[in-house]
């Protein structure tokens, strides 16, 4: 090394296009994997090698950041602190969507010590403090993706009213801009509008892993407010909480057309660049479009809108992530709609069967399947499915889900005596 240093001061160089993935790889080395950032190219290479050798890697735990250090609180604190400090030093080296992704990753790691099912009053206060401090930083003050994360954390801790107020404040300040250009700013605005629509309609933040309790139906006033918000988003108009939301047929048709064109344009750009911001924009726009169709007409139209978008995007890319997320969107809307309006269970079963056919090892779909069959009190269908699936296992996830279900059944029997 000394001899080499005398000849050349640089040991090796990493191309700029790999800088982001090098950071992700080091974070993965520390034991973290973010669903939002996705795996680094190095992790993808390892998974591809496992696929070829028949050892498929598939972790379906539902959380933003997965950590290998969760079982050791001392190790968790040390590694968390190190990872967050490292990311904060590296974030200024990146811009646009990549810089935002690393900012969100740092916040997720910092917040990973909290457990949503056991939050104290002080925990909630600390979570708010972390997010408010993040928004005070110059690079985050106008970043709508960070605002969206803050809003969703408020929803997660059960403060939906406060979350709605934060969204209205952010949209009042930062809306009114065109989203025709796919970039971090337009994506953040779309994400924030999506979040506000979910709050207005009462759509659950989490993935659809179980059926929901009955809740009041959607009022016409709420539907008009959602449609008005999304019409303004697509037309680049300023948001105002006091808007009367007068929607005319011409505006609805224009917004529908803009949604279709915007999704197609972002998908085409993703096929050419493989840019993560383009990918997330496609997904958020599709979800927005589905919510718009749900507010405009009914469940069938929003399911058809997602299906149409899926077929269109498949002509640009063979990335299976799109298909899996679109299935999740469809199931989430069906589960939600079943809680607010009379909907046959067969509708859910049809789409759930399709999802499980294409992704038999996806934990979200398996959990929903178990919940549906358990509440229907039909064990034969469930037993046959897992018996067939466990005979050709390439991932431990279905087996773990099945064991978890049996444990729940036994626990319930013991509780009931």
Please give the pLDDT value at position 242: 78
Please give the pLDDT value at position 306: 97
Please give the pLDDT value at position 61: 32
* Distinct helix (H) and strand (E) counts, the chain: 18, 2
Would you state the torsion angle of the CA atoms of residues 66, 72, 77, 82, taken in this order, to the nearest 10 degrees?
-60
- Give the three-class secondary structure for 144: helix
Please give the pLDDT value at position 55: 34
Dihedral pair phi/psi, residue 159, rounded to 5°: -105, 65
Q: What distance separates the 2 farthest-apart alpha carbons in the chain?
A: 78
> From first to last of its 417 residues, what are the pLDDT tens digits of the chain?
455 555 666 666 778 878 888 888 888 888 787 766 666 666 654 444 334 333 333 333 323 555 555 555 667 778 888 989 999 999 998 887 888 999 999 999 888 888 777 788 899 999 999 999 999 999 999 999 999 999 999 998 889 999 999 999 999 999 999 998 888 899 999 999 999 999 999 999 888 999 999 999 999 999 999 999 999 999 999 998 877 667 888 999 999 999 999 999 999 999 999 888 899 999 999 999 999 999 999 999 999 999 999 999 999 999 899 999 999 999 999 999 999 999 999 999 999 999 999 998 898 999 999 899 888 877 777 777 777 777 776 777 777 787 777 787 788 778 876
Measure the CA angle with vertex 222, ends 216 and 224; round to 5°.
Answer: 145
Please give the pLDDT value at position 38: 64
* Continuous segment of H or E residues that includes residue 108: helix 96-111
- Give the three-class secondary structure for 378: coil
Strand partners, 65: 34
Q: Cβ neighbours of residue 416 under 8 Å, at least 6 residues apart?
A: none
Please give the pLDDT value at position 46: 47
Q: Where are the domains of the chain?
A: 1-115, 133-201+221-341, 360-417
Please give the pLDDT value at position 39: 66
Please give the pLDDT value at position 73: 63
DSSP letter for 214, please: P
Give the number of other Cβ atoms within 10 Å of residue 127's Cβ.
Answer: 20
Please give the pLDDT value at position 71: 52
DSSP letter for 178, please: -
Please give the pLDDT value at position 165: 94
- 3-state SS of the chain: helix, strand, coil percent to 5? 70, 0, 30
What span, in angstroms and rounded, lies between the C-alpha atoms of 373 and 383?
10
| 110 and 80 Cβ atoms separated by less than 8 Å | yes
Dihedral pair phi/psi, residue 33, rounded to 5°: -140, 120
Measure the CA angle with vertex 80, ends 77 and 83; round to 5°.
Answer: 150
């Amino acid at each position: 090394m000394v001899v080499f240093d005398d000849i050349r001061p640089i040991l090796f160089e990493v191309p700029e296009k790999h800088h982001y993935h090098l950071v992700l790889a080091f974070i993965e080395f520390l034991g973290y994997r973010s669903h939002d950032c996705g795996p680094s190219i190095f992790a993808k290479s390892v998974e591809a090698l496992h696929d070829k050798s028949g050892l498929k890697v598939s972790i379906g735990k539902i959380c933003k950041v997965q950590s290998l250090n969760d079982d050791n609180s001392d190790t968790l604190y040390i590694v968390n602190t190190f990872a967050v400090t490292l990311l904060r030093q590296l974030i200024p080296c990146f811009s646009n969507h990549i810089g935002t992704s690393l900012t969100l990753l740092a916040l997720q790691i910092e917040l990973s010590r909290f457990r949503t099912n056991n939050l104290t009053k002080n925990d909630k206060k600390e979570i708010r403090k972390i997010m408010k401090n993040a928004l005070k930083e110059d690079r985050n003050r106008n970043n709508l993706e960070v605002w969206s994360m803050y809003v969703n954390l408020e929803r997660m801790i059960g403060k939906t009213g406060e979350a709605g107020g934060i969204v209205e404040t952010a949209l009042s300040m930062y809306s009114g801009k065109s989203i025709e250009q796919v970039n971090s700013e337009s994506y953040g605005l779309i994400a924030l509008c999506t979040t506000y629509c979910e709050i207005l309609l009462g759509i659950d933040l989490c993935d659809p892993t179980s059926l929901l309790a009955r809740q009041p139906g959607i009022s016409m006033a709420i539907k008009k407010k959602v449609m008005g918000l999304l019409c303004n988003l697509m037309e680049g108009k300023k948001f105002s909480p006091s808007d009367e939301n007068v929607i005319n047929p011409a505006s609805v048709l224009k917004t529908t057309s803009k949604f279709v064109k915007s999704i197609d344009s972002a998908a085409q750009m993703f096929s050419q660049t493989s840019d993560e911001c383009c990918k997330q924009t496609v997904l958020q726009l599709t979800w927005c479009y589905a919510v718009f169709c749900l507010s405009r007409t009914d469940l069938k139209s929003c399911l058809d809108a997602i299906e149409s978008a899926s077929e269109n995007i498949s002509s640009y890319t063979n990335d299976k992530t799109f298909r899996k997320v679109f299935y999740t969107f469809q199931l989430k809307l069906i589960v939600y709609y079943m809680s607010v309006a009379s909907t046959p269970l067969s509708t859910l079963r049809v789409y759930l069967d399709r999802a499980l056919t294409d992704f038999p090892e996806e934990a979200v779909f398996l959990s929903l399947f178990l919940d549906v069959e358990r509440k229907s009190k039909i064990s034969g269908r469930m037993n046959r499915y897992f018996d067939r699936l466990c005979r050709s296992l390439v991932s431990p996830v279905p087996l773990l889900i099945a064991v978890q279900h049996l444990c729940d059944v036994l626990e319930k029997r013991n509780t009931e005596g």
